[in-house]
Amino acid sequence: MSLDIVVVGSLNIDMVVNINKLPKWGETLLGNDFFISHGGKGGNQAYAASKLGASVAMIGRVGDDLFADQLLNGLKEAGVNTSSVGRTPEAATGVALINVNDEGENNIIVAPGANSYVTPKYVREHEDVIREAKIVMVQLEIPLETVLEVARIAKKYDVPLILDPAPARILPNELYEMVTYIVPNETELSEITGLPITDARSARMASVDLLGKGVHTVFSKLGGKGVVVTSANRTFTIDGYNVSAVDTTAAGDAFAGALATAIVSGQDLWSAAQFANAVGALTVTKPGAQRSMPDMDEAQQFIKRFSQQ
């Protein structure tokens, strides 16, 4: 099996409510629209890359329930190989409860469920899949010891690793030494480095800290302020897009999936970052997670439209 991308990570059903403000403890508020969407950072990134034309396989776990069927069918429809996604009767499929305000900002509570059963042992059972990849993607919605095992396997076969450090936490230096590309947003970058991130300059400073720990390249996602790309040889900033945000839920995942797709297609870091930045911006203009992600034609039309302004 020849693969562009293998994604090891979470699969969730997203339950989304549009609200005007966040409730306080003990307070009940009336929301607006409600919808269910397919999500999980792993599933989102696999979906994004596959919809953009990459050949993608997913390694993860779901429960033995109706949500599992919905998630797997959605990934298959996008072209993702799900043969390495297992079912576990011991836990329900992961669920994310998402509140989105009028500005498109969100907060998210995740009940990981079956995602907690993506163990190092389970990953080792699918080592052959990782070995065949051109790039491996992993996030932090599965156990940290599993993330480390994925990184070790990728290193064993010289497969580049993209780490999305979300939900953010302090990470061991051993992991950083095995990371090729890391894609934090400004909150995550601050959390994992302990440094305040307020602008491109502070993002570059924090990125240098990660380079010192062994990371090859840092893509600091600053939302509307763009992306700062930092490696040992160069650093550059790509401006953000001026778009009206409807829902930012999956923008980071769309960015990561687009970045991986561009890299495996042979694009350099500048071009790959520009493409990922555009895909992330386009994604926030639509509601939902996977359903908001563009295909290649939509992405290219978006880029062309803004280049003519």
Structure token pair of residue 241: 């897009």
3-state helix, strand, coil in the chain (%, to 5): 40, 25, 35
Contacts of 99 (CB under 8 A, 6+ apart): 16, 17, 19, 22, 31, 106, 107, 108
Alpha carbon 147 to chain centroid, angstroms:
14
State how far the Cα of 198 lies from the Cα of 201, in Å rounded to an integer: 8
Residues with catalytic roles: 253
Asked if residue 87 lies in contact with residue 59, where contact means CB atoms within 8 angstroms, the answer is no
Whether residue 167 is preceded by a cis peptide bond, meaning omega within 30 degrees of 0, is: yes
Name the packing angle between helices 41-51 and 251-264 (round to 10°).
50
CA distance linking residue 295 with residue 210, whole number of Å: 32
